[in-house]
């Protein structure tokens, strides 16, 4: 089976799940190619990229994207000269018919710079916004093959995206051959938006469970070691975790809290820690290697990820960081947010509190310290949940079987 992964940028450091999925499909004997609108992060040395020669399998439709809205628009207008000789490119400027990417001139730019059509049995496109672009390119005849759209989190929750892509999404829902949301919550939302549940299949973005051996913790450290691994954005709830740490300090609980990851809120969060007098208890390590991340996972007592709905509506899918912590036997504290309750059952496979509830987070940490006998069963249940439902090979196998279950001759 010929499989095309259609992405906006490739490779992207934070999108290892796409690399893992590509590797799985190659290992299953699929003829995999990658079409990327723009080049991605330079200098990435991921073993999957090297092992499978993925850069050699990648076709870039355009050169690097200019920074700044004005530069992007000017560059696209400037590049449209060849479009007057390309019927599809001229046709794609119809905003009413071809939506957001016609309005931004990305569609005609792609079509005017790429004459050769791309054919595949299946086109897999991660993130609804990119799948919407693939759908329009397919409608214009540039891409040919059955389309599978994968929805993750902010692409189906953030108010700005839902507003900008409202019409494009409705067209995508009605014409995509497969829709793969990562959670039942998003499946229900897509069903509500589209008015049908045709070809909607929940596919988990799981983890490679063999890379995370289960390691029960016989005793808690003193001070107790708390850990978060996250991109520092609003929806990760790190500010709430910091407020919980203040409550712990006020209750004379001895703890150390390590935060691994970077992001736009780092300076703001560091200022919050300093203003609360917690600089001696909370450490920001920034982005770290996988080896360092594994070391901290193996030596921590509790994993915190109190996710929240951001002011702009941005929400999680189901965080991979929680899966990794659960797989190796760290008790997790998270929230009743988005698809997280599909991963964690409160007090069965972890602990859940309401969003923005710092007091309850602190309360659970104190409960763990006072009653560590709670943890062995919870951690075993968490491991079983990951093995049964969030093993990425099982998820990708199910996805492949769904794709193979329909005739894959090119009919579009």
DSSP assignment of 109-120 equals HHHHH--S-EEE
Dist. CA 328–CA 316, nearest whole Å: 22
Residue-level pLDDT at 408: 53
Asked if omega into 131 is within 30° of 0 (cis), the reply is no
Q: What is the pLDDT of residues 22-36, one digit of tens each?
A: 999 999 999 999 999
Q: In the chain, what are the domains?
A: 2-61+114-206+392-404 (3.40.50.2000), 209-389 (3.40.50.2000)
Dist. CA 44–CA 146, nearest whole Å: 30
pLDDT at 291 over 80: yes
pLDDT at 386 over 60: yes
Sort strands 332-335 and 2-10 into parallel, antiparallel or unpaired.
unpaired
Residue-level pLDDT at 412: 42
* pTM, entire model: 0.91
Closest CA to 76 of 40, 112, 100: 112
Residue 87's pLDDT band (cuts 50, 70, 90): confident
Closest CA to 230 of 203, 202, 269, 204: 269
Average pLDDT, the chain: 94
CA dihedral 390, 392, 394, 399 (to 10 degrees): 110
Residue-level pLDDT at 79: 60
DSSP assignment of 61-74 equals SSSPPPSSHHHHHH
Average pLDDT over residues 362-381: 98
Helix H or strand E encompassing 394? helix 392-404
Q: What is the pLDDT of residues 107-161, one digit of tens each?
A: 999 999 998 999 999 999 999 999 999 999 999 999 999 999 999 999 999 999 9
Residue-level pLDDT at 362: 99
């Amino acid at each position: 089976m010929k499989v095309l992964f259609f992405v906006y940028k490739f490779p992207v450091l934070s999108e290892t799940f796409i690399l893992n999925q590509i590797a799985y499909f190659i290992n299953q004997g699929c003829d995999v190619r990658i079409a990327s609108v723009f080049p991605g992060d330079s200098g990435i040395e991921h073993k999957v990229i090297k092992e499978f020669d993925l850069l050699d399998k990648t076709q870039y439709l355009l050169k690097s994207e200019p920074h700044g809205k004005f530069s992007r628009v000017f560059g696209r207008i400037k590049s449209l000269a060849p479009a007057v000789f390309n019927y599809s490119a001229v046709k794609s400027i119809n905003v009413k018919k071809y939506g957001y990417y016609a309005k931004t001139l990305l569609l005609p730019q792609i079509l005017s710079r790429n004459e050769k059509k791309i054919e595949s049995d299946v086109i897999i496109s991660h993130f609804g916004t990119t799948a919407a672009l693939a759908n329009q390119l397919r409608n214009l005849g540039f891409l040919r093959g059955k389309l599978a759209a994968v929805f993750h989190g902010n692409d189906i929750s953030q108010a700005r995206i839902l507003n900008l892509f409202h019409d494009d999404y409705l067209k995508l829902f009605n014409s995509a051959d497969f829709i793969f949301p990562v959670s039942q919550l998003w499946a229900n939302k897509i069903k509500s938006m589209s008015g049908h549940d045709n070809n909607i299949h929940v596919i988990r973005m799981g983890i490679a469970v063999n890379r995370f051996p289960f390691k029960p913790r016989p005793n808690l450290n003193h001070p107790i070691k708390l850990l978060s691994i996250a991109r520092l954005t609003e929806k990760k709830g790190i500010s709430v975790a910091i407020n919980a740490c203040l409550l712990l300090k006020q209750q004379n609980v001895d703890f150390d809290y390590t935060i691994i990851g970077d992001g736009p809120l780092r300076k703001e969060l560091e200022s919050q820690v300093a203003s609360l007098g917690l600089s001696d208890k909370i450490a920001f390590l920034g982005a770290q290697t996988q080896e360092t991340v594994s070391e901290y996972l193996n030596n921590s007592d509790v994993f915190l990820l109190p996710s929240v709905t951001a002011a702009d509506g941005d929400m999680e899918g189901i965080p991979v960081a929680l899966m990794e912590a659960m797989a190796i036997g760290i008790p997790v504290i998270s929230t009743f947010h988005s698809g997280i309750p599909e991963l964690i059952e409160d007090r069965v496979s972890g602990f859940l509190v309401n969003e923005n509830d710092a007091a309850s987070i602190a309360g659970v940490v104190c409960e763990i310290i006072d009653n560590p006998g709670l943890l062995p069963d919870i951690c075993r249940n968490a491991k079983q949940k990951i093995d049964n439902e969030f093993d990425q090979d099982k998820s990708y196998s199910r996805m492949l079987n769904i794709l193979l279950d329909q005739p894959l001759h090119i009919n579009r």
